[in-house]
Amino acid sequence: MSQKKEEILRELYPEDMFEYGKGLTEGEVEVLQHTRQIIEKEIRPVINEHWEAATFPFDEFYKLADAGIMNHPKLFEGREDARKPSQLYNFFLYYELARFDASIATFYTVHGGLGYNTILIGGDERQIKEFAPKVANFEWQTCFALTEPDHGSDIAGGLATTAKRDGDHWIINGEKRWIGGADTADIVPVFARDVEDGKIKCFIIRKGAEGYDAKPIPQKVSLRAVQNGHITMKDVVVPEADRLQNINGFSDVAKILVNTRADVAHIATGVTGGAFVAALDYVKERDQFSKKLGQFQIIQEKLARMQANTVAAIGYSARLAEMLEEGNFDMTNSSLSKMHNSLVMRETVALAREVVGGNGITLATDVARFFADAESIYTYEGTHEVNALIVGREITGSSAFV
């Protein structure tokens, strides 16, 4: 490892005590460093204001395109034929974003994870060529419309949105809920059940389509900056050319979810690290009983637990990234990682809130955002119970799903 890369990694992620970041290339580390610089300069000054107002900092977020977080040439050195950067870089990018703010990381996973993977996995070559470059350079915003008002964990068998073929077009009817970016996206991949064969298919609905309506869900107490939408579709017409040709059943949707479950495991890791670092910074400066909080034994014990949780979660994510890079796209591995990392995240944000005390319920220390946002991450992309049952099915050979 070059001295320059080592120095940058030490500056960026001192909590990576087992040095998983060593596997990154110099180019990947430079992109991550540039990403950090943009976050600190552009997004940090406004994030609390947007979180409290329940608005998203679009102008500041899109400056991350300057860092080329999805398509910088340095990310493709030695992998010129690949359509995505390495899985280890992907983990550390999510870690970087979520270590700062979970809403920023969640918006990105909807765009650069769920939406982008849907195009790459579900599209034919013509569709990939049309959609993917514009998503990668942030010219077009995308999202992922699968979950419905009455169907979340049971979406595989319960999906109710319908698609009916009418010549060279499809007519889409139904509702979707908890869809991040639904009201601002330029292209929306919508999953619907073909009324003829009963199979789930995916359709690209373009911005401004007649009969498509999306409204942000109000009064959230978590991930407030992300605009989760409730979508209503009434006789929305989609040409056959905008049906993603390689999604023809839930098994194809599951390929997307394996990737995304891994991404959310990475986000949980980032929130864990972010809460730990924010708490550590606070107790080094806060005076109580004539000395720094960080000098008290009980505080150091809690910090040590937070550090251990961070290293454990980084280890899960880094190894999962290696397996994905090898082509081992296994739902059980992603579910185990999401389950574990969300559990230690939940414990860590609670510990961080404890050591910061009363100031941990204000936005001033960042801990309050991590504490509130962790609840959404604990639930989305598979609740704890669903991920546990996927793992349980694998280790016992018996499915306990209803």
pLDDT at residue 402 greater than cutoff 80? no
Q: Measure the CA–CA gap between 360 and 354, rounded to whole angstroms.
A: 7
What pTM does this model have? 0.94
Radius of gyration over alpha carbons of the chain, in Å?
21
201 pLDDT above the threshold of 70? yes
- Are residues 275 and 102 in contact, defined by beta-carbon separation less than 8 angstroms? no
Residue span(s) of the chain under CATH 1.10.540.10 come to 3-136
pLDDT at residue 152 above 80? no
Q: Is the pLDDT of residue 275 over 80?
A: yes
3-class secondary-structure state, position 193 = strand
* Mean pLDDT (whole number) for 206-224: 95
What pLDDT does 203 receive?
98
Q: What is the mean pLDDT of residues 94-123?
A: 96
- 173, 9, 155: which is closest to 92 by C-alpha? 9
Q: Which of 101, 25, 69, 68 is nearest to 325 (CA)?
A: 25
**Residue range(s) in the chain whose domain bears CATH number 2.40.110.10:** 155-249
155-249: which CATH topology?
Butyryl-CoA Dehydrogenase, subunit A; domain 2 (2.40.110)
149-153, 295-299, 367-371: range with lowest mean pLDDT: 149-153
For tokens 């010549």, name the residue.
Answer: 167
pLDDT digits (tens, 9 = 90+) for 366-391: 999 999 999 999 998 889 999 999 99
Answer whether residue 57 shows pLDDT above 90.
yes
Distance between the two ends of the chain, CA-based, in angstroms? 50
Predicted local distance difference test score (pLDDT) of residue 155:
73
Query: What is the percent of the chain with per-residue pLDDT over 70, rounded to a whole number?
Result: 99
Q: Output 2 or 78, whichever has higher pLDDT.
A: 78
Q: What is the pLDDT of residue 1?
A: 67
Distance CA 257, CA 14 (A): 31
Average pLDDT, the chain: 94
Domain 251-396 annotated CATH 1.10.3720.10:
no
* CATH number listed for the domain at residues 3-136: 1.10.540.10
Q: How much is the pLDDT for 378?
A: 95
Kindly list the distances between the CA atom of residue 23 and the CA atoms of 166, 222, 302, 324, in Å, as whole numbers in the listed order. Answer: 51, 33, 29, 15
- Integer angstrom CA distances of residue 178 from 31, 50, 137, 334: 31, 19, 25, 22
Average pLDDT over residues 48-68: 94
Secondary structure element (H or E) that encloses residue 118, with its range:
helix 116-122
| Cβ–Cβ < 8 Å for 322, 88 | yes
Rounded to whole angstroms, the Cα distance separating 111 from 92 reads 17
pLDDT of residue 348: 98
Q: Residue 111: what pLDDT?
A: 96
